[in-house]
Amino acid sequence: MLKYTNHPLVDTGLATITAYAEKDEPYELDEADLEAMADYIAKNYTKPPLIGFIHGAVFPNSGYTNPGLKTEQDRRDRFGPILYGYRRSPPPEAKTCVFCGKPAIEQVARDYFPLLTGRGVINFYPEGDWGMPVCGTCLLAIQAYPLGSGGLLLVVDSDNPEIKAHFARRFLDYNLRAINLAQAGGDKAALRPEFSQRTLLVKTLLDARAMQKENVALKELFSITAYQVSNSGQSPSLEIYHLPMQVIGFLTDMNLAKYHTDWRTIVNRAWEVEPKTKRTKKKGEPFKPRRNYLYEDILNLPNNADRFIRTYFLRMALYYARNSKNDPRDNYSTKEESGLVSWGITEKFLRRIMHMDKERTEQMKKLGDTLADYVKAQNDRRFFREFFTVKRYDSLRTILIKADLAQAKNGQAPLIAFDTYISVFEDGEDLARTDWRLARDLVLIRMVERLYELKWLGENTDIIPDKDEEPETNED
Ligand SMILES: [Zn+2]
């Protein structure tokens, strides 16, 4: 009975064979299913468009994809033992397969398994033996994994088997169609995935059934690790992307009715836009975006969380996007998009991804509300603009003190409770928190949202500056 081994390449291969057999789980596979997959590989890895790609980037020097082999029989002699290894009985003294524990039939090196050392190289192996002992089924799974990988190279693993199966099925469907098209038209370009690697990863994830649920319980959450594997002879490489449980939790939260519409709009505005230069435009073909900047930035969370909030939630134009021809973030504008600024979405993000405690987020919301009400009541345009644009902590403090004094002069209760102020901006008296800019952005998000609801912002959009004149920095 076949089951997942927890090795990403072998498991992606098993999920691919399962999807090819149109079954749900590896344990349902029988020998006829393995035969069908092996036959497909024997037929298609050995001719264009796959032969060059597989030989160059996945199994360099593997016998059966070697373009130097001229006859069908030569090829069959080489791939027979590898592709159809599961038919053979293991020798009596067989070692154990390193992946599944069954008796092994072959000792495998990098020509049939990416990122290992070559044949005969004994470094990094036990007992001075080169390669790894592998059983016939795992060996077939390893030959099959490119078919269930994005762009034949992006392998996606998860602690949730349903997610592993989802990615392999999606990628297999796309690849089989693309291979057919490429064979029919003789054009390798069909093999290119629709989206850039990172966008493909997040977009495919969001299509999974497990991601469509609302209110996902903690125990149902999972994580994802993706590997962009190239085994190219000259420059093998491995790039790893990780989507932790917290990010998955945030993304499923965004299915809740109260966030869904705003979140969809935020995502839709992050697709690359058509470059203005005519030179890059192909005749007659409509522009199809390949990259979603928000999806790509999700893969760097939480390290880029401050910028993520400022760009996507506060809608500040991204300084670094100004030199790009197709980055939409150069045109983000709090002024034009204040209706998209949402404290609810931001708060979910703070709790799920930044683990900010509830008390602090509530203090920020309260401060945002108080300041917004003050701006509306006093029509203090100058305060709003200064709070929006302030770059130094001591200036921020002065702006707030001035507003507080103005409030006292009008005979109103003090604007800012001392405790609230301290917990939002300072570590101790007079000592700014290192993340005071983030705190300011967060208070601002609530202020913008509330002033928009109060219809004050609609009448005063001119006070919001168009763009930052310089990149935001983390220094004071
Ligand atoms: Zn095995």
Spacing, Cα 341 to ligand 1 middle (Å):
52
pLDDT of res. 280: 53
Q: What is the mean pLDDT of the chain?
A: 87
Spacing, Cα 15 to ligand 1 middle (Å):
14
pLDDT in tens, 435-457: 899 999 999 999 999 999 999 98
Spacing, Cα 234 to ligand 1 middle (Å):
29
pLDDT at 90 over 80: yes
What is the band of 476 on the pLDDT scale with cuts at 50, 70, 90?
very low
Q: How far apart are CA 108 and CA 122, in angstroms?
A: 12
pLDDT at 474 over 60: no
Q: How far apart are CA 332 and CA 451, in angstroms?
A: 19
**What residues have CB less than 8 Å from 126, skipping those under 6 apart?**
none
Element (H, E) at 238: strand 237-243
Spacing, Cα 101 to ligand 1 middle (Å):
6
pLDDT of res. 392: 92
Nearest alpha-carbon partner for 296 in 319, 267, 255: 267
The residue type of 308 is: F
Per mean pLDDT, which range of 32-36, 49-53, 458-462 is the poorest? Answer: 49-53
Q: How far apart are CA 38 and CA 407, in angstroms?
A: 78
- Domain range annotation of the chain: 8-190, 267-278+288-476
Mean pLDDT of 131-143: 91
pLDDT of res. 412: 80
Contact 197, 154 (CB under 8 A): yes
Q: How far apart are CA 140 and CA 340, in angstroms?
A: 50
pLDDT in tens, 357-416: 899 999 999 999 999 999 999 999 999 999 999 999 999 989 988 888 888 888 887 877
What is the band of 458 on the pLDDT scale with cuts at 50, 70, 90?
confident
pLDDT of res. 126: 67
pLDDT of res. 325: 85
Spacing, Cα 170 to ligand 1 middle (Å):
25
